[in-house]
């Protein structure tokens, strides 16, 4: 079982130059019907890691794009994405707030007409990353452009779709928990996006989320007939193994 859901690819030789610390774990079947194929799970935990990703035809390793527009310039970002495609990586993980959206724009530039060859996973909710100052990340203090309220979800997804130059997102993920917004409000907004066809599946990528947080969201979704989370991007690496006990098994 792999310990990472993401690996970076060198833009000149195609070799691995680093790995992320996020483990993509399937957690629940999506109840939404429609023309888009969705995976079927009986016991999502026992199905094992990456079954959801396999169901939507992605490889075991994905490309984490969070350096784009912050640590890597446009030319480097485009080269990395295209090299990843050339070596068979088709899962691209990003967030709308990285580089104030520049990350998504660079991915769209790199993909060009090849968008349908990849699985696009992006996120919403975190404060926007504006860039670096004296080596430290600078975050926006604009509260209107973060969180998990219905208002911001609907605005954020449209901005992401525009930057990515696509009419749907394969996997849309909650980036950080929002204690000021009722969880049901968040889930209802996300359910609407799935039913509208703008999003294919939902994921939890909350950096500080726990298994209890995930279970609470899943219970609310089940009780209200809403689309539940299909994946969770949990902190899991050689050094951090808590997810194996709390989420994966």
The CATH architecture annotation of domain 7-248 reads: Alpha-Beta Barrel (3.20)
User: Counting Cβ atoms within 10 Å, is residue 51 exposed (0-12), middle (13-18) or buried (19+)?
Assistant: middle
Q: What is the pLDDT of residue 226?
A: 96
Tell how many helices (H) and how many strands (E) occur in the chain: 7, 11
SS3 211: helix
CB 162 within 8 A of CB 104: no
pLDDT tens column, 136-159:
888 888 889 989 999 999 999 999
Q: What is the pLDDT of residue 205?
A: 82
User: What dihedral angle (degrees, nearest 10) is formed by the CA atoms of 166, 167, 173, 174?
Assistant: 110
Q: What is the pLDDT of residue 4?
A: 33
Q: What is the pLDDT of residue 78?
A: 92
Domain residues of the chain, as ranges?
Answer: 7-248
Selection from 1, 7, 45, 35 nearest residue 231 by Cα: 45
CB 174 within 8 A of CB 205: yes
Q: Give the E-state strand segments of the chain in sequence order.
A: 7-9, 16-19, 22-26, 63-64, 91-93, 119-124, 129-133, 136-139, 169-174, 199-204, 231-235
d(CA 154, CA 193) in angstroms, rounded, equals 8
Q: What is the pLDDT of residue 39?
A: 33
d(CA 228, CA 27) in angstroms, rounded, equals 9
Backbone torsions φ then ψ of 131, nearest 5 degrees: 145, -160
Per-residue pLDDT of the chain (249 residues; tens, 9 = 90+): 333 333 333 333 333 323 334 445 444 343 333 333 333 333 333 233 344 555 555 567 789 898 888 888 899 999 999 999 999 998 999 998 888 788 999 999 999 999 999 999 999 998 888 878 888 888 888 889 989 999 999 999 999 999 999 999 999 999 988 899 999 999 999 999 999 999 999 998 866 667 788 889 999 999 999 999 988 887 777 887 777 777 765
Selection from 50, 130, 56 nearest residue 97 by Cα: 130
């Amino acid at each position: 079982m792999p310990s990472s859901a993401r690996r970076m690819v060198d833009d000149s030789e195609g070799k691995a130059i680093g790995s992320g610390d996020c483990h993509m774990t399937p957690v629940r079947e999506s109840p939404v019907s429609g023309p888009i194929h969705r995976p079927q799970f009986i016991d999502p935990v026992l199905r094992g890691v990456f079954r959801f990703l396999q169901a939507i035809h992605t490889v075991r390793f994905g490309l984490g794009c969070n350096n784009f527009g912050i640590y890597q310039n446009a030319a480097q970002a485009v080269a990395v994405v295209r090299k990843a495609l050339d070596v068979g990586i088709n899962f691209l993980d990003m967030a709308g707030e990285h580089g104030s959206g520049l990350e998504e724009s660079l991915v769209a530039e790199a993909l060009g007409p090849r968008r349908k060859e990849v699985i696009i996973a992006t996120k919403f909710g975190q404060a926007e990353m504006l860039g670096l100052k004296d080596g430290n990340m600078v975050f926006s203090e604009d509260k209107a452009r973060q969180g998990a309220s219905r208002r911001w979800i609907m605005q954020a997804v449209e901005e992401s779709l525009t930057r990515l130059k696509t009419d749907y997102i394969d996997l849309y993920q909650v980036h950080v928990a929002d204690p000021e917004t009722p969880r049901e409000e968040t889930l209802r907004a996300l359910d609407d996006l799935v039913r509208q066809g703008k999003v294919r599946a939902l994921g939890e990528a909350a950096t500080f989320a726990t298994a209890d947080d995930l279970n609470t969201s899943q219970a609310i979704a089940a009780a209200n007939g809403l689309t539940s989370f299909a994946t969770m991007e949990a902190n899991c690496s050689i050094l951090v193994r808590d997810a194996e006990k709390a989420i994966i098994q």
